[in-house]
Chains A and B, each alone.
Chain A
Amino acid sequence: MKKISLIITLFVIYGFSHKYYVSTSLYDFKEDSGSLQITIRVFQDDFTEIIKNIYQIDISMDNDLNSNEIKSKISDYLLSNLSIYLDNNKYDLFYLGSELKNEMIIAYLELEDIPAFKSIELKNTILFDLFEKQQNIIHLKKGVNKRSFILRKDVPNVSFEF
């Protein structure tokens, strides 16, 4: 169901519908392998809309989210909306690919060979361009430490000290 159009958007039909604007991102620091694994969950219809708007490509019609063309667009979108600083140094993420599960698109990104660090700063502006009320929920896991934070358009980044 469309959520923002001013045309009447009345009806929930049989399918899954959602009316809140949330993504969830898990930043999982794997201390044994020295890597950061990022798992991002966004609603399929939201993500389809933003990719269509920016890249004029319809990812809803194509089952293969990991074909070269679509993969490069999704990668471009995610990398330009996610940044990460460890001890104030910027690191470049690597986009592995996405899958569709229960009407959510799950995107996987990775950062390998990271040094030990004390502080981390994250910026996550996914879907902020599309929805005024978008909230990106961030879960951070490093060893036994777990932190959560909600990013909004007016608060797009967050820092943690470990």
Chain B
Amino acid sequence: MKIKDISLIAISMMISFFAFSQENSSETKQKGHLNINKFRQMNQEFSSPNMFRTAAGAPGPAYYQQQADYKMDIELDDRNKRIYGSETITYTNNSPDNLEYLWVQLDQNVRKKDSPSLERDGSGVRPFYRPSGFTNEFLTDPFDGGFNVEYVKDEDGKALPYFINQTMMRVDLPKVLKSGEKFSFSMKWWYNIQDHVNQDGRSGYETFESDGNRSYIIAQFFPRMAVYNETEGWQNYQFWGDGEFALPFGNYEVKITVPADHILDATGELQNRKDVFSKEMLKRYNKAKKSYEKPVMIVTQSEAEEAEKSFSNNKKTWHFKAQNVRDFAFATSRKFIWDMMAVKIGNRDVMAVSLYPKEGNPLWEDYSTIVVAETLKTYSDYTFDYPYHKAISVHAKQIGMEYPMICFNFGRPNIDGSYSDDVKFGMIGVIIHEVGHNFFPMIVNNDERQWAWMDEGIDTFVQYLTEQKLGKDYPEIIYPNENFPSDRGPAKLITDYMSVDQNFLAPIMSNPENVYSLGPNAYGKPATALNILRETIMGKELFDHAFKTYSKRWMFKHPTPEDFFRTMEDASAVDLDWFWRGWFYTTDYVDIGIKEVKQFYVSPGPGKELKKIMEERGIPMNRLRPMIYFEDFENDTENLKEGNPLENSKLLNNYLNENYSEDEISNLKVPKYFYEVVFDKPGGLVMPIIVEYEYEDGTKEKIKYPVQVWRKNDNEVSKLIKSNKKIINITLDPDLETADIDTSNNSWPKKQEDSDFDKFKKRIKG
């Protein structure tokens, strides 16, 4: 075969052939593989869209949800720390299925003496114990908790057969409950309330040694209907303690009887305010309804302190009604101070409310209600207008827990009233978080038992946005900080977690019972992932629109993870399957580095690399057609590297002169510096490459290469940079927005970054 000349294309083909034949010199043949591309679609992980849930992520034409309405009479026995109740549940079967039995949740049963939950973890002997710990563990009986069910009856008062399996109770129906039918039944029960300070829990009482009174925060206190739907059938995952709740919506009418000197608030609208409020309280309440700037005291600290001194043997009944809520909770104590203010949401007035014992002051009277109001406003901006008429923040010593319209929050000053910034910002953070849970999952009602991240992670994300907004709206609250010191949200705060030993990591898409560390797994990492999506991947406009679409679509409904993933893509036209797969379905982390930087100039003749290839192939140099050649800076022997391409290449010069006018040529931007930057990716996650180039005149340029650069080579990718200014520094992810766990490979020339150790040592040595 006679070859006249060779084009560069042919040479480059030879190069790749050469490389190919080198790699395949061994005897074994390569095996094929499935689609392992990180940008493949999620078709295998997602269930098929259907008439219930569409491919767009919205409720489909056949979407349904069950309804459970409750009528309850509750009595709290403050002396014996017990709660008694009777309830009538009316269950509406909106599903297309006929039901043979109903499942009711008895979450208090996780505290039964023989609860399997007690034995769900391994245990061992410790070499030493504190006396209190030893006594609790070995000398005292376990707490006698759990529901004592007195009866289960149908509408006619006839006993219904039932069976209790741990925290679930099956009620057998006398006849099949057909699609579209309702069934009413009644139950009576009581249980011992536990001490949430010493025995933990999401609810319970706290005893205040100084005056002997208790405050009660009461939740999961009544048998509640389980969810039945088209994805799970009846919920069958027991309550073990970590995975929270899945509950249908319904209407509640609840009467709660407590000692007459208690102050009480609960989910729902108070029906008999005139009976339970004093005239003075009513007057103050009417004032609070018009106070948009600051809270009005309904019960003052001195009034609460007065009430602490006695114990009323009289009773008072508080009557509430709530429409379209998924749960009910209340708080009651004679110790409570009570304040309220109004907040405009859309064109409606909502009440922001706080209940706290004096032990919470001065922190609580200063901040709680203001923070509730700010939370309702900010969350409404990002989702939908808060639909309920109030939101209450109740002070509990060490709990942060959410229910519809009411939540329990920690943050307690020292006995002398002093408190650290950690306590203050921790309290503000938890109030935002728990009030924010009204939106997720109380209204956008995911299955918490299966997917904690859907409410915890999404809520923590909006919590971050709200904390930052609060810092802007109330600079005096965060002074001397410039921004609210959020502990979750910013990318750089999740890198410690994402770099821990892989044996102790689980993907976000895991059941909350089975992860090693629920805080960073279900709160921190998904919140950070959403923040990165918003700020770095999608941009705020696209993200906020899609996020609002999701919130509105699933308001008062039951979304699944896929409904969220699909909606975010559908409403933004951004394919995010690679992001969901990497961040939510794996434990991979981000680590992108600069592997190598080479500089080139345009040379008059073939460069060293090209000569080498020609020689190896045995092709004489004179077969080369005239070309414009690049040569590595390192190989410059004739001092041509400072020349610009027009000076160095006669061919280019001639070409321009033949094809362009003098004017046009003088207007051309002729780059003088050419760089090849090789990025490598030790981490498993693909992310956009965000690079800052710093030029010798001190100017900087930030360039974002789309994540798609990784689609054909998951290990490394090169970029050719042309510039008429010399590059002196290259920095990857300069603003720490991608959660890159190792930044030691993020700069060129390599910067020796101080380790934590060096930083600490420098600090203590001053």
Q: Do A and B come from one complex?
A: yes
Q: Knowing A4-B126, A9-B200, A14-B433, say if A137 contacts B133 (CB, 8 Å).
A: no
Instruction: Return chain A residues, CB-CB under 8 Å to B201.
Output: 8, 10-11
A129:B517 contact, CB within 8 angstroms: no
Instruction: Return chain A residues, CB-CB under 8 Å to B433.
Output: 14
Question: Can you list, as one digit per residue, whether each of B516-541 has a CB less than 8 Å from chain A (1) or not (0)?
Answer: 11111001100000000000000000
A39:B757 contact, CB within 8 angstroms: yes
- The B-contacting residues of A in range 1-19, CB under 8 angstroms, are 1-19
- Min C-beta distance of A59 to chain B, whole Å: 14
A97 nearest CB neighbor, chain B only:
B764
Q: Measured between alpha carbons, how far is A15 from B427 in the docked complex, in Å?
A: 11
Interface residue? B142 (CB, 8 A):
yes
Say what secondary structure dominates the interface of chain A. loop
Stretch at the interface among A77-85, A102-110, A116-124, A154-162: A102-110
- The B-contacting residues of A in range 115-157, CB under 8 angstroms, are 129-133, 137
Q: Knowing A9-B200, A17-B518, A102-B496, say if A53 contacts B756 (CB, 8 Å).
A: no
A108:B121 contact, CB within 8 angstroms: no
B760:A97 contact, CB within 8 angstroms: yes
Q: Measured between alpha carbons, how far is A18 from B434 in the docked complex, in Å?
A: 20
- The A-contacting residues of B in range 484-519, CB under 8 angstroms, are 487, 493, 496, 500-501, 504, 512, 516-519
Q: Measured between alpha carbons, how far is A129 from B755 in the docked complex, in Å?
A: 30
B118's contact among A8, A17, A18, by CB below 8 Å, is which? A8
- Min C-beta distance of A27 to chain B, whole Å: 11
- The A-contacting residues of B in range 730-766, CB under 8 angstroms, are 755-758, 760-761, 764
Q: Measured between alpha carbons, how far is A63 from B121 in the docked complex, in Å?
A: 32
Interface residue? A24 (CB, 8 A):
yes
B142:A7 contact, CB within 8 angstroms: yes
Interface residue? A66 (CB, 8 A):
yes
Q: Measured between alpha carbons, how far is A101 from B763 in the docked complex, in Å?
A: 15
Interface residue? B137 (CB, 8 A):
yes
Interface residue? B560 (CB, 8 A):
no
Q: Measured between alpha carbons, how far is A20 from B420 in the docked complex, in Å?
A: 29
Interface residue? A96 (CB, 8 A):
yes
B501:A11 contact, CB within 8 angstroms: no
- The A-contacting residues of B in range 395-418, CB under 8 angstroms, are 398-401, 410
- Min C-beta distance of A52 to chain B, whole Å: 8
Interface residue? B202 (CB, 8 A):
yes
Count of residues in B whose CB is under 8 Å from the partner chain? 57
Count of residues in A whose CB is under 8 Å from the partner chain? 43
A3:B121 contact, CB within 8 angstroms: yes
- The A-contacting residues of B in range 110-146, CB under 8 angstroms, are 110-111, 115, 117-118, 121-128, 130, 133, 136-137, 142-143, 145
- Min C-beta distance of A147 to chain B, whole Å: 14
Interface residue? A87 (CB, 8 A):
no
Instruction: Return chain A residues, CB-CB under 8 Å to B520.
Output: 16
Q: Measured between alpha carbons, how far is A16 from B756 in the docked complex, in Å?
A: 22
A15:B519 contact, CB within 8 angstroms: yes
Interface residue? B683 (CB, 8 A):
no
A13:B755 contact, CB within 8 angstroms: no
B755:A5 contact, CB within 8 angstroms: no
Q: Knowing A22-B501, A130-B126, say if A10 contacts B117 (CB, 8 Å).
A: yes
Interface residue? A76 (CB, 8 A):
no
B396 nearest CB neighbor, chain A only:
A13
B452 nearest CB neighbor, chain A only:
A12
Interface residue? B691 (CB, 8 A):
no
Question: Can you list, as one digit per residue, whether each of A90-101 has a CB less than 8 Å from chain B (1) or not (0)?
Answer: 000000110101
B755:A37 contact, CB within 8 angstroms: yes
- Min C-beta distance of B505 to chain A, whole Å: 10
Interface residue? B241 (CB, 8 A):
yes
- Min C-beta distance of B240 to chain A, whole Å: 8
Instruction: Return chain B residues, CB-CB under 8 Å to A5.
Output: 133, 136-137
Interface residue? B242 (CB, 8 A):
yes
Instruction: Return chain B residues, CB-CB under 8 Å to A101.
Output: 496
A39's contact among B136, B516, B756, by CB below 8 Å, is which? B756
Name the residue among B111, B124, B519, B755 with the largest chain A CB count within 10 angstroms. B519
B764:A96 contact, CB within 8 angstroms: yes
A10:B764 contact, CB within 8 angstroms: no
A7's contact among B199, B422, B524, by CB below 8 Å, is which? B199
Q: Knowing A28-B755, A132-B125, say if A10 contacts B501 (CB, 8 Å).
A: no
Q: Measured between alpha carbons, how far is A118 from B512 in the docked complex, in Å?
A: 46
A20:B126 contact, CB within 8 angstroms: no
A8:B516 contact, CB within 8 angstroms: no
Q: Knowing A17-B519, A37-B755, A132-B125, say if A8 contacts B117 (CB, 8 Å).
A: yes
Instruction: Return chain B residues, CB-CB under 8 Å to A8.
Output: 110-111, 115, 117-118, 142-143, 145, 199-201, 241
Q: Knowing A8-B111, A10-B200, A102-B487, say if A133 contacts B504 (CB, 8 Å).
A: no
- Min C-beta distance of A14 to chain B, whole Å: 3
- Min C-beta distance of A156 to chain B, whole Å: 14
- The A-contacting residues of B in range 78-122, CB under 8 angstroms, are 110-111, 115, 117-118, 121-122
Give 19 A-B pairs besides A8-B143, A11-B201, A108-B761 with Cβ atoms closer than 8 angstroms: A5-B133, A6-B142, A7-B142, A8-B142, A9-B241, A11-B200, A11-B242, A13-B202, A13-B401, A14-B400, A14-B434, A39-B757, A63-B420, A63-B422, A99-B760, A102-B493, A102-B496, A104-B496, A133-B122
The 9 sampled A-B contact pairs (Cβ below 8 Å) are: A6-B118, A8-B118, A13-B400, A16-B519, A24-B501, A39-B757, A63-B420, A106-B760, A132-B125
Give the 8 A-B CB pairs with smallest separation, nearest first.
A132-B124, A14-B400, A16-B519, A10-B241, A37-B757, A18-B517, A20-B516, A6-B137
